[in-house]
Amino acid sequence: MKSLTVFLVLFLLYSFSNSYSQSKKLRIEIKEATLMSMIESIENQSEFVFIYNDEVLPELKKAIGSIQIKNKSIYKVLDRVLNKKRLSYSINERQVILNKKEVNPQSSLQQQISGTITGTDGLPLPGVNIIIEGSSKGAQTDFNGIYAINASEGDILKVSFIGMKTQFVTVGSSNVIDIVMEEDLEDLDEVIITGYQNVRRELFTGASQTIKAEEIKLDGVADISRALEGRAAGVSVQNVTGTFGAAPRITIRGSSSILGDTKPIWIIDGVIQEEIVNLSVSDLVSGDPSTLLSSAVAGLNATDIQSFEILRDASATALYGARALNGVVVITTKSGKKNQKPTFNYAAEFAVRDIPRYENYDLLNSQETVSVYRELEAKGFLDLPTSFQGRFGGIYNIMYRAINNFDESTGQYELQNTPEARARFLQQFELANTDWFKTLFRTTPTQTHTLSYSGGGENSTSYASLGYYTDGGWTIADRVRRITGNLRNTYYLFNDKLKVTTQLQGSIRNQLAPGTLAREEDTFFGSFTRDFDINPFSYALNTSRALRPRDNDGDLEFSRYNWAPFNIINEIDNNGLELNVSDIKFQGQAEYEINDNLNYNFLGSARYVTSNGEQSATENSNVAAAYRADETTIVQDENTFLFTDPDAPNSRPRVVLPVGGILTTTKNTLVTYTFRNTLDYTKRFKDEIHGIRIYGGQEYRYTDRSQSSNTGYGYQFSRGGTVFTDPDILKKAILEGNDYFSFQETRQREVSFFANVTYDFDKKYVLNVTGNYEGSNRAGKSSDTRWLPTYTIGAKWNIDKEDFIRNSNVISSMAFRPSYGLVALLADNATNNLAVFRNQITDRLNNDDRENFIDIEDLQNSELTWEKTLELNLGLDVGFFNNRIMMNFDAYFRKGQDLIDIIRTTGIGGESLKLGNNSEMTTNGVEFQLNTVNVDTDNFSWKTGFNISHFDQEVTSLKQQANVFDLITGTGRGNAVGFPKGSLFSFKFEGLNEWGLPQFLTDDPDFDPSDPYALIDFQDTDDVLDYLVYEGGTEPNISGGLANSFKYKNWDFSFFVSFSAGNKIRLNPAYRSEYTDLDVFPREFVNRWLAPGDENITNIPTIPSKAVLQSFGDTDLEQAYNAYNYSTARVADGGFVRMKNITLGYSFDKLTLDKIGLSSFRLSLQSTNPFLIYSDSKLGGQDPEFFRSGGVAYPISRLFAFSLNVGF
């Protein structure tokens, strides 16, 4: 950092020096210029002196049009603007001598000059303007990029096109001049797209970053939100799950809310893209089926995207007012161009994912695992009654079944019950070492195909695309198919005074996933559980490798799970989730030019999304078998899936799902409408020195969400769907408090009025003021709480336009951006401006005693209002050496107030908990971006991009009292005053005792050695920070990335590294007080406590014997081992450095393309997530971003993709 500071200081000192050189960089910006005014501008900013005679004066007075030249030498300036047919020049030190040329009569003869103008990709460019310098004569290319113009030898052709570098070509003796135009990257970056308005960068006062989609696209990855990881300073992307449809955890400048949303809003072509379901951070990591609907952009084809704009501070997001608390991501999709020849493009991507390997995870093999089972057997576990009739059973259950299986044909039991026979039988499992990854995962390729069309005439443009994505499944349990469509037309009417754009976007998705129930949390014992979890990744890491998928005869081999036979392959075949999602959006926009200074714009959008899910647990599934497991009285008494009628208390538990399976259907719908009216006034006055822009409008947003579910018992999948329902199974569901059907609906209405005023003085000093007044039906009913005014004040000083910088040969651009403003958000759980009542049924043992009652779900909260954040942002943008080195610094200071949390009341009114605007939080951070052009020649170029950001966060006020379980689990709910939002705390592990059991809280005054675990209470909320240890935040506060791209002739190569740090991770909870022979154990298990004295050399607790369990109590030891899982011994650093992607590509040259009749052809190979460069060794193979929660959650995978792109 010190060397960087010295470097900057030296550059600044150098720029202020009075050195002089003929390589002096000049900047000229003149409208309706003459050569004389240009000469005056050069003399004013340099020490050059022009010398000429009277013959030259007429030429100097001729108009040459507008001039805008930045950082060019005197030679390049004169070569560009002088009419070389009539004037010549020479330079002698500081003197520039102009002479008039003698006109050669032959050279004045005109000839027709023709040729083809193309881009660097070989595609013809229609609509290119060709003008003879110093005259009004011009021409334009046709659809094929061909032009023709009459010119004389020596004439200079000025060739210009939007988004391309303007070229000046001198006419020689040849009458054919072909021209290749290069993209003007600087010009394309001049405009910031905010979703409401397009603002020139020199007038934009906010903190933002433009990212081109083609530069960050991950081939084979269908969800484009994952491509943002590490690409933008201040943007943190955590891949907490890699399953398609599930959103990563994205935050901009840290979390801004305690209980509410922390994700940014997505804007697609100016309209907010709502998620089908709103999920909290803890919901995102749950692995529940609802996470498959959490991504707002899962239905968007990455090939259709032109660019991303990341809006980070209050000034940048000002027009979004009360929705912008967490930042904004603006997506602009592709469109056609005027006078563009119809072109078709076909893009294909073929990708395969690597199968996970056990060597990447520190787990015991089957032989080591069986040795642990033998220890369990020696300690009183895995006996015949428990393994044969208990809830769970692995290889010992298989052995006891063989011992108990009498073969009448031979008159013998399948297995003799002798120590020798048992040992021989178990040996086959001991040596099995099953690779569950190879059994359950596969390298089925994913395919993405996109066919697009683009074209345009003088009065209209069109863009259309059709995409198909298919994923045969990384595992045998999942599959995805998605079709996307996009049609965009723009019409220019009444001499371009009216511009009308219509857009139709749609997607259809069919997805298969493993059948799963919602995750449940046990705050008493301190654990998460999920019945019937068959997630293949979770199963492979949590199931004994001594088990086998098939027996010695090749038949499926069944273990015991939930008192019923279980085989993972059979279960996946008979227990699955199918999801069908349809998403369609229509959008229309009209822009009318009232006069030269005033424009009116209307935007209307309508979107309808429906999702239908079916989870089918057939009659052959373990789920259905568990409901029918009643083979012995022991099983009947233990099986929780059987039913005991409270009206017949002396009756035995019985089966209430005698036939069929369970069909659970869910439906989610989303309906949104957006209407916006705006006026945009722009005016420059007093010789173009002063500029003002006034932008104002109104927007109305309508959002309806509904969610319904129904559980059908007794659905006979193998008999045409015939339903046979035992009424008692519904009675069982009701008595257990489970709804067998449900319906929920939310209605959201929002109105906003906004205005923005921008004033600039000579585009040097800029002042920007924005106001927004927004109301929502979800806030309190009083006007003070329902309506919220927000505001921002921003300024910009374009220092590079000052004389002391303008003359610098080193600094080519510099701007300082201060801004201050108020942004806000209304949390999704803020819906109770009136009391919320629900009909309920009393939970009483006897059915006749049950009755309906009205429950107060939420108390009236008429004063509940918006969460607010005040933000100060200071930014500095600096460019060196003609912007070949670009640096961006931002420092921000945020204070969140009126943040919503939960307060505990006296209970008067029927509820003890209530939402309130009681919390405050501060977040301060810095961001740095560096982009360099290291080498740029005709055949070779090398560019580098680097960004890094850091923030410190502290909750300064909080009424909510989090319980121990929320604080220690690391799911984002650990909130406490003086710490970051979502902090991670731990029980302090104090070593092992003489029994090999973990110890905690021994220093507490109330600690009783005779009852050492009495103080462990996962539900405790009183002064819990007195004994819990703060580990760190769960959200990284350092993030960034490093990108390098190389191009040599037609080859290109790039790689990107992402990194994050500053967060802590809770290790997978692998320790329990009781184990079964289904369990697998971490490698560290070999160091477990085995004998007295081991407590001095190891921190790995023992396997408690039955005698120890009886001595200390089952409940106490279960809590103790869960406390160990959430102790200081089970925490790792979450920082990592990941090689995100590597790409090698080849683009065919124009000569080859002409031969094969194509306009473009590119091939590429890309690897995504190939390896981790660094992560904490304590993780033992656990991905630092992924939560192993089971359900439908998978980690991000290592992916290899081959892509081709053909234009014709």
Q: Please state the rounded mean pLDDT for residues 61-70.
A: 73
pLDDT band, very low/low/confident/very high, at 914 (cuts 50, 70, 90): confident
Give the integer Cα–Cα distance in Å for 87 and 100.
5
Note whether 151 and 165 are within 8 A (CB): no
Grade residue 153 by pLDDT with cuts at 50, 70 and 90: confident
Instruction: List pLDDT tens digits, range 710-765.
Output: 999 999 999 999 999 999 999 898 888 788 889 989 899 999 999 999 999 999 99
* pLDDT over 70 percentage in the chain: 95
Q: What pLDDT is recorded for position 1198?
A: 94
986-1025 per-position pLDDT tens digit: 999 999 999 999 999 999 999 999 999 999 999 999 999 9
List of residues 6+ apart from 694 with CB closer than 8 A: 679, 680, 681, 755, 756, 757
The predicted pLDDT at position 805 comes to 84
pLDDT at 23: 55
Identify any residues that bridge with 463 across adjacent strands, giving them in sequence order. 454, 488
At which residue do the structure tokens 């083809």 appear? 116
| DSSP E strand boundaries for 269-342 | 271-273, 305-311, 328-333
Confidence of residue 85 (pLDDT cuts 50, 70, 90): low
CA-CA distance, 123 to 105, in Å (whole number)?
39
Count CB neighbours of 418 within 10 A.
10
Average pLDDT over residues 140-147: 82
Please determine, for residue 17, whether its predicted confidence score (pLDDT) is greater than 50: no
* Per-residue confidence band for 1045, with pLDDT thresholds at 50, 70 and 90: very high
- Record the pTM: 0.86
| β pairing state of 1160-1175 and 392-393 | unpaired
Rg of the Cα atoms in the chain:
35
List, for residues 567-582, the tens digit of each pLDDT value: 999 999 999 999 999 9
Please state the φ and ψ torsions of residue 488, each to the nearest 5 degrees.
-135, 125
Residue 4 clears pLDDT 50, i.e. is over it: no
**pLDDT score of 15 more than 60:** no
Q: How many angstroms separate the CA atoms of 116 and 126, rounded?
A: 10
Q: Rounded to an integer, what distance in angstroms lies between the CA atom of residue 874 and that of residue 205?
A: 10
CA 788 to chain centre: 29
- Taking 90 as the threshold, does the pLDDT of residue 410 lie above it? no
Residue 1067, pLDDT > 80, answer yes
Q: Are 233 and 928 in contact (CB under 8 A)?
A: yes
Whole-number pLDDT of residue 84: 58
Q: Are 878 and 812 in contact (CB under 8 A)?
A: no
Quote the pLDDT of residue 959: 87
CA count, 13 A, side-chain hemisphere, 518: 9
pLDDT of residue 260 exceeding 90, the answer is no
Q: How far apart are CA 784 and CA 792, in angstroms?
A: 20
Average pLDDT over residues 883-902: 93
- Of residues 82 and 1183, the one with the higher pLDDT is 1183
pLDDT in tens, 1054-1064: 999 999 999 99
pLDDT value for 846: 67
CA distance 754 to 789: 9
Q: Give the residue extent of every domain in the chain.
A: 22-103, 104-188, 198-333, 358-442+535-569
pLDDT score, position 961: 84
What is the pLDDT at residue 103? 52
DSSP 420-484: HHHHHHHHHHHTT---HHHHHB--PPEEEEEEEEEEE-SSEEEEEEEEEEEE--SBTT-EEEEEE
Local structure of 1116: helix, strand or coil:
helix
- Tell me which residue of 1192, 980, 1050 sits closest to 240, measured CA to CA: 1192
Which tokens go with 383?
């006996």
Give the per-residue pLDDT at 833.
Answer: 63
Distance CA 1086, CA 1091 (A): 13
Quick check: helix, strand or coil at residue 1109? helix
| pLDDT beyond 80 at 353 | yes
104 has pLDDT over 60: no
Q: CB within 8 A of 643, min separation 6: which ones?
A: 653, 654, 655, 656, 728, 729, 731, 732
**Per-residue pLDDT at 938:** 84
pLDDT at 18 over 50: no
| Position 672 confidence tier, pLDDT thresholds 50, 70, 90 | very high
| Burial status of residue 463 (CB atoms within 10 A of its CB: 0-12, 13-18, 19 or more) | buried
Q: Report the pLDDT averaged over residues 337-344.
A: 84
pLDDT tens-place string over residues 176-191: 898 888 776 544 457 8
As a three-state string, the secondary structure of 938-1005 is CCEEEEEEEEEEEEEEEEEECCCCCCHHHHHHCCCCCCCCCCCCCEEEEECCCCECCCCCECCCCCCC
Q: Could you tell me which of 980, 899, 978, 966 has the C-alpha nearest to residue 1126?
A: 966
Comparing 11-15, 317-321, 737-741, the range with the smallest average pLDDT is: 11-15
Q: What is the pLDDT of residue 590?
A: 97
For residue 719 the two structure tokens come to 């008999």
**Average pLDDT of span 461-489:** 96
Residue 1051 sits at φ, ψ, to 5 deg, of -95, 150
Q: 978 in the Ramachandran plot: left (φ > 0), alpha (ψ -120 to 50) or beta? A: left
| pLDDT above 90: percentage of residues in the chain | 63
| Spatial contact of 203 and 756, defined as CB atoms under 8 Å apart | no
Give residue 122's pLDDT.
Answer: 73
**pLDDT, tens only, 1152-1198:** 988 898 989 999 999 999 999 999 999 988 889 888 788 999 999 99
For residues 885-906, average pLDDT: 90
In words, the CATH class of domain 22-103 is alpha beta
Mean pLDDT in residue range 875-889: 94
Confidence bin at 51 (pLDDT 50/70/90): confident
Pick the CATH number of 198-333 from 3.30.230.10, 2.60.120.10, 1.10.340.30, 2.170.130.10: 2.170.130.10
- Helix-, strand-, coil-residue percentages of the chain, each rounded to 5: 20, 45, 35
Q: Which helix (H) or strand (E) holds 215?
A: helix 213-216
Mean pLDDT (whole number) for 344-363: 94
Cβ neighbours of residue 38 closer than 8 Å, sequence gap 6 or more: 28, 30, 64, 67, 77, 81
- Which pLDDT tens digit goes with each residue over 1078-1089? 999 999 999 999
523 Cβ partners below 8 Å, 6+ apart?
963, 965, 1018, 1019
Q: Determine contact, residues 542/534, Cβ cutoff 8 Å.
A: no
Check residue 127 and give its pLDDT. Answer: 78
Report the distance separating Cα 600 and Cα 1050, nearest Å. Answer: 45
CATH node for 104-188 = 2.60.40.1120
Lowest mean pLDDT among 244-253, 477-486, 856-865: 856-865
**Average pLDDT, stretch 147-172?**
82
**pLDDT tens across 1116-1162, in order?**
999 999 999 999 999 999 999 999 999 999 999 888 988 898 989 99
* Mean pLDDT on 467-475: 96
Question: Residue 600: pLDDT above 50?
Answer: yes
Nearest to 340 by CA among 157, 601, 163: 163
pLDDT at 808: 82
pLDDT at 154: 78
Helix or strand (DSSP H, E) at 369: helix 366-378
Quick one: pLDDT at residue 442? 95
Question: For the chain, what is the mean pLDDT?
Answer: 89
| Banded model confidence at residue 1039, pLDDT cuts 50, 70, 90 | very high
Residues 832-853, mean pLDDT to the nearest whole number = 71
The tokens of 106 are what?
A: 């032959």
